[in-house]
Amino acid sequence: MNTQANHNASISEPAARRSWQERLEPYLAIIGPLAMIAMILAFMGVMEPARYFRLSNLNIILLEAAMYMPMAMAMTFVITQRGIDLSIGSVAALTGIIMAFAIKQYGFPAWMAVGMAVMIGGTFGLINGLIITKFKVPDLIGTLAMDLVYRGFALVLAKGLVLARFPDLITDIGRGRIEGFLPIPVLIGLVTFIIGAILLRKTWFGRYSIAIGSSPESAEMTGISVDRYKVYAYVLMGAMAGLAGVMLTGKLNAIQATSAPYFNLHVIAAVVVGGTSLFGGRAYMLGSLAGVLLLSLMINALVTLRIEFFWQSVASGVVIILSVGLYTWLQKKDRDGSKGILASLSTPDNKKLFKLAAVLGMGIISFIVLGFMFANTTTGSG
Amino acid sequence: MNAVSALENPPQAVIEMRGIHKHFGGVTALEDVDLEAYAGQVLAIVGDNGAGKSTLIKILTGVHQPSSGSITLDGQAMVLDNHSDAISLGIDAVYQTLALADHLDPAANMFLGSELTRRIFGIPFLDNKRMRQEAERVLDERLGVKLRSMSVAAESLSGGQRQAVAIARAVYHSDLRVLVMDEPTAALGPQETARTLKLIKVLREEGLAIILISHSLDDVFAVADRVQVMRRGRRVGVVNTAESSTKAVLGMIVGAEATADAS
């Protein structure tokens, strides 16, 4: 009985005028990192064109990026589901060490050890997922604690040793190249991204990851097994961290318990820069790839400019804050453009915060002044 | 005891609930409640907060199980162990929250939890193209709704359009007999409300039995054929909207009418 239907084909809205933001939004994920990549390239083109754009340097950049690609792919799913995994650095180190022991101490064939490393990584991911879904430990705390656990096991196993010199297969995975084509790790990374894009668009896992991140309650109501799909994401994350452990071991031809210290923040930064929302529901696989490339370009630029290594940490942190802040600002729907920035800053609340900042600043300045006034002769610290 | 007015009804009710009791621990949520829903009719359930509307509906949709009482579908007794039992028998609900994923497009939302797939090398992949076509078809043919774009995220749809997508999800199952709508107009503006009420009328014309829970007596009188009034876990009356008024129903909700009748 569909006769009535044609009467009211009028629920469609009057074609509302779409603002430029609305039209731009689908492409935001790509435009953001691409703009930043262009900025870095332009800047380096002025500052250090000869050394930065050398073919060998581009190779280094790609090799650096490749290691993060599988993890960024998996982290895209985890973050899309409103999750987070802070344990991936330790998972990579521990799986690398287990693989190293399997090869060097027990004489496993290399390919078996590699397969085992990926599976063990997946198992660590499974443990993370079960802790989060069954023990109901918040993901931030759960994976941070498991980061300590996995790192601890790595230290216990390796006891400060550096395990080095591995079979060709491992070094091929880490730094080999197909002549006249791309380095093998880059190929591995790109393949994982293609698989990730298919998973996201074409499978239940991808669809439900977005639904879960969008609204866990709605997902539950439509009969989606939220916990099971969350566990899947962490298993994928762990397996990719295990793969990264293999790639890291191969790249350096060595592994130790303290390897891969900042994988977690680096990968999260890449994913977030790529436009995947920390608040869930928005996944941009291509953006994550762009994010990985952006971070590698940036870190390499810092190295090329001979800026101290320790500034990398500052730069990564600033990039995370800026990109999350920028995306949140762009996605805010009720932005009132009528007044200037100054007007929106001078709310009563903000004035109080300014006062607090002023008090803190004055306090520090007065202590510095007093410190110099009462300063004794300095004693060396060592 | 209960002031149940005699009604002229079509012969066979699609749904008949008889003598439903429900206790949660020591609390009695429903006491000897009946309900009849007929094809091609809208039955509204009204009542104050805590009157037992939601519990009754959750029993009908299989979310809760009654402590005692019987439910029949087309005269056949049925036992619902869970919500999917109810769906497979053709009883579905659209919740107040709509249960949409804001970041997915209308088609993905419509098929959420029951996606269409296509096998490639024996591996099932989502068939996004067919889902989009089907979604467009169902929205247009069954509900008379055309969306400006099928590729935008659900969050950028208007309240009425979101409602349409949620309803389309329920009516897509061609064997749907009974549609329960929980406060469909609660969060909508006047225009959107009018559109949603129109949708309900379309569904009624298609022969569905619709059960509408609402606090808005204006909406109830705009679309419902009959109104079942609940108070403190009991059915205090069923009236034909054509023969009643909001004032009379309001009186039954707060209990003024019932006490007058009981005396």
- Name the one residue in this structure whose structure tokens are 């497009």: B105
Interface list for B 167-226 with A (CB within 8 A): 169, 195, 198-199, 201-202, 205-207
Distance from CA of A349 to the nearest CA of B (A): 31
Q: Where are the domains of chain A?
A: 27-331, 345-373
Q: What is the model's pLDDT at position A344?
A: 65
Q: What is the model's pLDDT at position B115?
A: 87
Query: Does B23 touch chain A if contact means CB atoms closer than 8 Å?
Result: no
Nearest residue in chain A measured CA to CA from B165:
A11
| Model pLDDT for residues B11-55, shown as the tens digit of each residue | 678 899 999 999 888 888 899 999 999 999 999 999 888 888 888
Q: Give chain B's domains with CATH numbers.
A: 15-102+175-262 (3.40.50.300)
pLDDT band at B10 (very low <50, low <70, confident <90, very high): low
- Does the model's ipTM exceed the 0.90 cut? no
Ranges of chain A whose pLDDT falls below 70: 1-29, 331-344, 378-382
Q: Supply A219's token pair.
A: 């997902």
Give B156's contacts in chain A (Cβ within 8 Å).
22
Distance from CA of A281 to the nearest CA of B (A): 6
Give B140's contacts in chain A (Cβ within 8 Å).
5, 9
Most B-contacting residue of A218, A279, A333 (CB-CB within 10 A), to test interface: A218
Q: What is the mean pLDDT of residues B86-98?
A: 86
The C-alpha torsion from A52 through A58 and A62 to A63, rounded to 10°, is -90
Strand partners, B230: B47, B235
Give A211's contacts in chain B (Cβ within 8 Å).
101, 104, 108, 112
Domain spanning A27-331: which CATH class is it, in words? mainly alpha
Residue of A86, A2, A99, A355 whose CA lies nearest to B203: A2
Residue B4 confidence (pLDDT) above 70: no
Cα distance between residue B89 and residue A154, in whole Å? 55
- Residues of A at the B interface, defined by Cβ within 8 angstroms: 1-13, 15, 22, 198, 201-204, 207, 210-211, 213-215, 217-219, 221-224, 281-282
Q: Supply B217's token pair.
A: 């007596």
Q: What is the model's pLDDT at position A2?
A: 42
Distance from CA of A15 to the nearest CA of B (A): 7
Nearest residue in chain A measured CA to CA from B157:
A13
Q: Which residues contact B150 (CB under 8 A, 6 or more apart)?
A: B105, B106, B107, B132, B135, B136
Q: What is the DSSP letter of A255?
A: E
Centroid of chain to Cα A261 = 13
Residue B252 or B174, more confident:
B252
Determine the length of chain A.
Answer: 382
Tell me whether strands B91-94 and B15-24 are parallel, antiparallel or unpaired. Answer: unpaired
Q: What is the model's pLDDT at position A3?
A: 41
Where is A256: in which H helix or E strand? strand A254-256
Centroid of chain to Cα B184 = 9
> How many CB contacts within 8 angstroms connect chain A with chain B?
110
Helix (H, G, I), strand (E, B) or coil at A72: helix
| Model pLDDT for residues A332-374, shown as the tens digit of each residue | 654 555 555 666 677 788 889 999 999 999 999 999 999 988 8
Cα distance between residue A35 and residue A316, in whole Å? 17
Q: In this structure, are residues B169 and A31 in contact, taking their beta carbons and an 8 Å threshold?
A: no
Q: What is the model's pLDDT at position A13?
A: 42
Q: What is the model's pLDDT at position A25?
A: 62
Residue B258 confidence (pLDDT) above 70: no
Q: What is the model's pLDDT at position B263?
A: 40
A9 closest CB neighbour out of B103, B115, B146:
B146
Where is A9: in which H helix or E strand? none
